[in-house]
């Protein structure tokens, strides 16, 4: 069997990789689910996106802590310790012959019941990994992103478990990204229930103004671990960081705009289209500096 990724642009494990599921390594092609899996019907799975650089898992403990927190918000506990999951992740990378990879841990309620409450459902856990370079993760060729304003909004925090990375919360992002693709854009900008800037479909958005990085307060969307890392890098560069309510007018006045998340790391935003109006931003020096700093930090991760 040949190990490692062989596909061109597919997003997901190839048939020659391995998946860890409920304590065992199995070929990814055998990682099937029962059709009555509760989380498939009710959207109660939780997951993470993590990257490995040269065989080292980046921000691993932070991601697995958030996975555990997401599960608890949804009313169940992971049946594995953080060390179990770290060891399992390393095993998946080794068995699949991967050193630079995207990693997807996932936990879900099983098929023992399809009732809404799901008290009798067993909790399953799996980890997959695949070759998914950053320049293929969003947009073409790794350039600046062209956004369009989504018709969908992020839910208010008292209407959904917005602090969790829950599969059910991604449907509006799926709809928004598909609409963006149809209109020739790379991604969609989503507002909160009050009409203020929230995030894109999968990444946190950051504005640069007078040497300060500003991003929306993560009340109705996931608090990005990658953004926290980028903010720490920015402070090392002598920049100020803050979170506040951001309007579309604030966005228009920004000197630079970028997005950040595990899948894309840092990607500049060059335009936003909305109702016959286009806003544009350059790929400025702050964004370029932080991209270089981020890439250097991943090499530091790989060498430690």
Q: Tell me, yes or no, if the pTM score tops 0.85.
A: yes
Asked if residues 267 and 274 have their Cβ atoms less than 8 Å apart, the reply is no
Calpha distance 132→49 (Å, rounded): 11
Instruction: Name the active-site residue from 104, 109, 146, 165.
Output: 165
- What pLDDT was estimated at residue 116? 87
- pLDDT tens digits, 137-167: 554 445 799 999 999 999 999 999 999 999 9
Calpha distance 302→60 (Å, rounded): 12
Cβ-Cβ contacts under 8 Å for 290 (sequence gap 6 or more): 230, 233, 234, 237, 258, 266
- pLDDT tens digits, 66-121: 999 999 999 999 999 999 999 999 999 999 999 999 999 999 999 998 888 887 89
Cβ-Cβ contacts under 8 Å for 63 (sequence gap 6 or more): 48, 49, 50, 105, 225
- What pLDDT was estimated at residue 12? 67
Instruction: Please indicate whether residue 165 is annotated as part of the active site.
Output: yes
**In this structure, what DSSP letter does residue 182 have?**
H
- pLDDT tens digits, 267-296: 999 999 999 899 999 999 999 999 999 999
């Amino acid at each position: 069997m040949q190990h490692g990724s062989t596909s061109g642009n597919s997003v997901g494990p190839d048939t020659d990789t391995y998946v860890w599921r409920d304590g065992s390594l199995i070929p990814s092609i055998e990682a099937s689910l029962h059709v009555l899996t509760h989380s498939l019907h009710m959207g109660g799975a939780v997951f993470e996106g993590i990257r490995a650089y040269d065989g080292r898992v980046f921000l691993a403990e932070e991601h697995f802590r958030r996975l555990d927190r997401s599960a608890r918000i949804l009313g169940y506990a992971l049946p594995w310790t953080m060390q179990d999951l770290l060891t399992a992740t390393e095993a998946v990378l080794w068995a699949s012959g991967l050193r630079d990879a995207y990693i997807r841990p996932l936990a879900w309620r099983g098929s023992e019941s399809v009732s809404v409450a799901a008290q009798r459902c067993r909790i399953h856990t799996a980890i997959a990994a695949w070759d998914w370079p950053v320049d293929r993760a969003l947009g073409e060729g790794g350039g600046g992103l062209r956004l369009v304003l989504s018709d969908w909004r992020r839910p208010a925090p008292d209407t959904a478990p917005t602090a969790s990375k829950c599969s059910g919360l991604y449907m509006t992002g799926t709809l928004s990204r598909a609409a963006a693709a149809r209109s020739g854009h790379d991604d969609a900008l989503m507002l909160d229930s009050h009409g203020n800037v929230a995030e894109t479909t999968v990444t946190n958005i950051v504005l640069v103004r007078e040497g300060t990085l500003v991003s929306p307060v993560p009340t109705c969307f996931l608090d990005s671990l990658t953004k926290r890392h980028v903010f720490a890098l920015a402070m090392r560069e002598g920049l100020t960081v803050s979170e506040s309510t951001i309007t579309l007018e604030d966005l228009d006045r920004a000197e630079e705009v970028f997005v950040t998340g595990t899948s894309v790391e840092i990607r500049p935003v060059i335009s936003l289209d909305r109702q016959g109006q286009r806003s544009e931003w350059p790929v400025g020096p702050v964004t370029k500096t932080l991209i270089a700093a981020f890439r250097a930090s991943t090499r530091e991760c790989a060498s430690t």
